[in-house]
Chains A and B, each alone.
Chain A
Amino acid sequence: MATVPHLDFERDIVDLQTQIDQLLGLADRKGIDVSQELDVLRGKLQTLKEDTYRNLTPMEQVQVARHPSRPYALDYVQRVFTDWMELHGDRAYRDDEAIVGGWARLGDQTVMLIGQQKGRDMKENLRRNFGMPHPEGYRKALRLMRQAEKFGRPVITLIDTPGAYPGIGSEERGIAEAIAFNLREMARLRVPLVSVVIGEGMSGGALGLGVTDRIIMMEHSIYSVISPEGCAAILWRSAEHREKAATALRLTSKDLLSLGVCDRVIPEPVGGAHSDWDETARTVKTALVEIIAELSALSHEDLLTQRWAKYDSMGAWKESDGSTGS
């Protein structure tokens, strides 16, 4: 896929891939049999990818989660879902293109799909504000979630944002209120809610679509209260310490699973989701079908009781008598 390495640790992988491509080209032009050499190289590539991706440092995980070739929300829409019908606008101010939403079919089930959407190039990024929503984005999302509730359809959200946009207009129109209101309303929505962190889930901007019955994470996605850079700038007084911050924050999917926040990790193809979008989409689809079926079997009452119990138990503290709670 990528012919130019984007990340340092990808260089050898890309070099090897280039060799394979060249060999294939050569074989094609000269009509010689290179299958043996190819097998060796492909074997090497596979091993290299496995080794590299099994041993990523937390900061490297962050880089993979932000990889510019990673599938974004609309790439999943195309591959996991059918019959996509996008709906626009918050009915109050404007359409925020950093969040997309609409009806889609997952297998034979209609769902409301809402996702944070980054741009693939500069032009699209300006339109989508690099996936950083304004208040109207969260309000559009809630409007669509309520529509889903009206028609008794499950909601799936795809989380992928560096955070809600910190700007003047954002504050003027109440970004804090928009996120807060979503948190409260999602907590009492009478339909199954599933969130999937597909890339980076940063802070309140991510959580604004994230109060759900199941919190799912892609293997190489990250979910954190603050970016490693932001955390390092505050606690280490310089963004250069981002690697230490990335480690300390425990933001990988494995971390969140062990902390009991993430319910399930969806494995990515060897080499990350960006190495094979279609394969990634197949795994995501299988997982989502299963999860939606499981949640759809619950009554509204059980759904809410379980959702509330889930969030009631979040955290870790020491009681007055010294016992620990969570």
Chain B
Amino acid sequence: MAWFRKDKQPLKAQDRRDLPADVFDKCDGCGEILYREKLSQNLNVCPHCGHHFGIGAQDYIDILLDAGSFREMDAGMRSGDPLEFRDLKPYTDRIAAAEAKGRNEAVRSGVGTLDGIEVALAVMDFGFVGGSMGSVVGEKIARAGRAALERGIPFLIVTASGGARMQEGIYSLMQMAKTSALLARLHEAGLPFVSILTNPTTGGVTASFAMLGDVNLAEPGALIGFAGPRVIEETIRQELPRGFQRAEFLLEHGMVDQVVDRRVLKSTVARFLRHTFAGWRPES
């Protein structure tokens, strides 16, 4: 019975499977290893569990607008430093660091066509100082809204934001008023406004334009709220229920119209615009 005494190889920790960062991604939702090119073809939605990966402003422009139709506005607008704000670092350093990453403020805006319908579009970029709203974000959104108003076309905003840009003090708070006042004019003009909420959308952005859509469409699983979960936990000193402030929770509580899979986002917006927008005529 020699095989009983066969030396056991001690379990050896296998080298971690080396995943070339540019080829594979691991799904945060189900842990599945995904081929990045496939994932990207699937609009960065996990084909196994439907988890929506965070994507950038350009991705949303590509997803929503007809190819090549986007004409960007105010691409060179930059933050000032009206308060000469300095915390552990000067505000200007934080902006410079964000700009050095090749990013262009926390929102991009312009006009283009969606299924042939001309629209004004603003897309926030969480990668730029947490998508925080300062004067540039407010002004670019207001100008895109004004373009919609002047052209008589629908307005779409894709939101992603940690809230107000504290370093701009009261000006950042007033961007909530500025953007909402513009939406008041759009509302009076009878033009559709579609708010698309992505992960995460919190603070002053939620408490202004993000919640003011004729339709509010949220991506699955997106965190959406006014106060951040940590602030709430600290205030009420209890653990928050599972799924609190997620898109599905907001749907259940009547704050968003639909939770929409990114893969049908464009067609959903198009359907809404056809139902509501008088300027659209079916192609013959």
Contacts and interface: CB of A to CB of B under 8 A. Distances in A.
B54 interface: no
Given A203-B173, A204-B207, A317-B78, A312 B178 contact: yes
Contacts of A126: none
Contacts of A316: 80, 82, 135, 168, 171
A204 B204 contact: yes
Given A177-B211, A314-B138, A320-B74, A225 B172 contact: yes
Interface centre among A170, A176, A308, by most chain B C-beta atoms within 10 angstroms, is: A176
B180 A187 contact: yes
A171 to B, nearest CB: 5
A46 to B, nearest CB: 33
Interface in B49-108: 74-80, 82-83, 85-88
A184 B169 contact: no
A132 to B, nearest CB: 9
Interface string A166-206: 11101111111101110111011000000000000001100
A174 B77 contact: no
Interface centre among A181, A184, A237, A326, by most chain B C-beta atoms within 10 angstroms, is: A184
A180 B208 contact: yes
B86 to A, nearest CB: 6
Interface stretch (A107-115, A143-151, A244-252): A244-252
Contacts of B135: 314-317, 326
Given A180-B206, A248-B86, A315 B166 contact: no
A311 B77 contact: no
Interface residues of A, number: 61
A316 B91 CA distance: 14
A8 interface: no
B76 to A, nearest CB: 3
B184 A187 contact: yes
B88 A236 contact: yes
Contact of A251 (B169, B207, B245): B169
A240 B265 CA distance: 45
Contacts of B43: none
Interface residues of B, number: 64
A234 interface: yes
B171 A164 contact: no
Given A211-B181, A315-B135, A317-B78, A188 B226 contact: no
Nearest to B82: A316
A318 interface: yes
Contacts of A183: 176-177, 180-181, 207-208
Given A187-B180, A204-B173, A207-B176, A175 B207 contact: yes
Q: Interface majority SS on B: helix, strand, loop or mixed? A: helix
A224 interface: yes
A187 B181 CA distance: 5
A298 interface: no
A259 interface: yes
Interface string A220-241: 0001111000010011110000
Interface centre among A185, A249, A261, A315, by most chain B C-beta atoms within 10 angstroms, is: A315
Contacts of B33: none
Contacts of B209: 180
B227 A171 contact: yes
B154 to A, nearest CB: 17
Nearest to B201: A176
B39 interface: no
Interface in A237-271: 237, 244-245, 248-251, 255-256, 259, 261
Contacts of B83: 248-250
B174 A314 contact: yes
Contacts of B187: 184, 188
A317 B226 contact: no
A177 B224 CA distance: 11
B157 interface: no
B136 A261 contact: no
A225 B166 contact: yes
Contact of A171 (B82, B138, B232): B232
Nearest to A222: B170
Interface string B182-194: 1111011000000
B279 to A, nearest CB: 22
Interface stretch (B5-13, B21-29, B110-118, B235-243): B235-243
Contacts of B124: none
Contacts of A290: none
Contact of A223 (B170, B204, B231): B170
Q: Which 7 A-B pairs have the closest CB atoms?
A: A320-B76, A315-B135, A166-B227, A183-B180, A187-B181, A235-B87, A316-B82
6 contacts: A166-B231, A207-B177, A250-B170, A311-B181, A314-B135, A319-B76
Given A179-B208, A315-B171, 16 more contacts: A168-B232, A168-B241, A176-B211, A188-B184, A204-B203, A207-B174, A210-B177, A225-B173, A231-B166, A249-B169, A261-B171, A308-B185, A314-B138, A314-B175, A315-B138, A316-B82
